């Protein structure tokens, strides 16, 4: 077993607490995002893979495309589309959007209004999700924003579901204690 700074599973308490904080460059800690994904599956009788696949397959595909992008091969537009596909699938799965293209922007507004309170700021952020005109070069910033929107929605949904599960558990325990 490998020990020291190169062992991927060995962390001190200070570094564990830092996983829940945003880094100085504004990036979401990937471990928090991935750990919250486990809270997103439903108890629908369908296997978790079937529930998660339409959301997370494009998400992880987007991550792979970002990693593959460089000077010689630009996959930024494909990565942006993958993150948008993931966001759309999550909005539909968690009943935040009906799947109709005409209501997409309204669904985004409702979903992100608690996080991005100013309508003008939401409009600026959501502009990165608009299709790129023919011949225009994709902007790296739009890929990052599309990923961040998917991250925000998934983490917010996971946190809300976790809090609801915790509240349900506490209510069951209180009622069980009352019966005793």
Domain definitions of the chain by residue range: 46-179
Could you give the CA distance from residue 19 to residue 33 in angstroms, rounded to a whole number? 10
C-alpha neighbours within 13 Å on the C-beta side of residue 46: 8
Residue 78's nearest CA partner among 134, 29, 30, 132 is: 132
Instruction: Give pLDDT tens digits along the chain (180 positions).
Output: 444 333 333 334 344 444 344 455 444 555 555 555 655 555 555 556 677 789 989 999 999 999 988 878 889 999 999 999 999 999 999 999 999 999 999 999 999 999 999 999 999 999 999 988 776 767 889 999 999 999 999 989 888 888 888 888 888 888 777 776
Global pTM?
0.73
Note every long-range contact of 5-10, with CB atoms under 8 Å and residues 24 or more positions apart, other chains counting.
none
For 51, the token pair is: 């529930």
3-state secondary structure (DSSP) of residue 61: helix
CA dist 76 to 52, 58, 80, 114, 154, Å?
A: 23, 14, 6, 29, 21
Residue 61's nearest CA partner among 88, 74, 80, 35 is: 80
Q: Which helix (H) or strand (E) holds 41?
A: none
């Amino acid at each position: 077993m490998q020990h020291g700074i190169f062992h991927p599973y060995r962390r001190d308490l200070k570094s564990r607490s830092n996983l829940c904080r945003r880094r100085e460059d504004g990036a979401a800690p990937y471990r928090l995002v991935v750990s919250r994904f486990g809270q997103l599956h439903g108890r629908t009788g369908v296997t978790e893979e079937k529930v998660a696949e339409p959301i997370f397959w494009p998400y992880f595909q987007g991550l792979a495309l970002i990693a593959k992008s460089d000077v010689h091969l630009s996959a930024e537009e494909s990565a942006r589309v993958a993150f948008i596909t993931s966001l759309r699938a999550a909005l539909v799965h968690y009943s935040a959007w009906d799947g109709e293209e005409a209501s997409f922007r309204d669904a985004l507004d409702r979903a992100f209004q608690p996080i991005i309170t100013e309508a003008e700021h939401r409009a600026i952020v959501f502009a990165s999700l608009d299709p790129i005109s023919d011949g225009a070069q994709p902007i790296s910033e739009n890929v990052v924003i599309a990923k961040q929107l998917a991250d925000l929605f998934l983490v917010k949904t996971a946190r809300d579901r976790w809090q609801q599960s915790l509240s349900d558990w506490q209510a069951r325990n209180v009622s069980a204690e009352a019966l005793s």
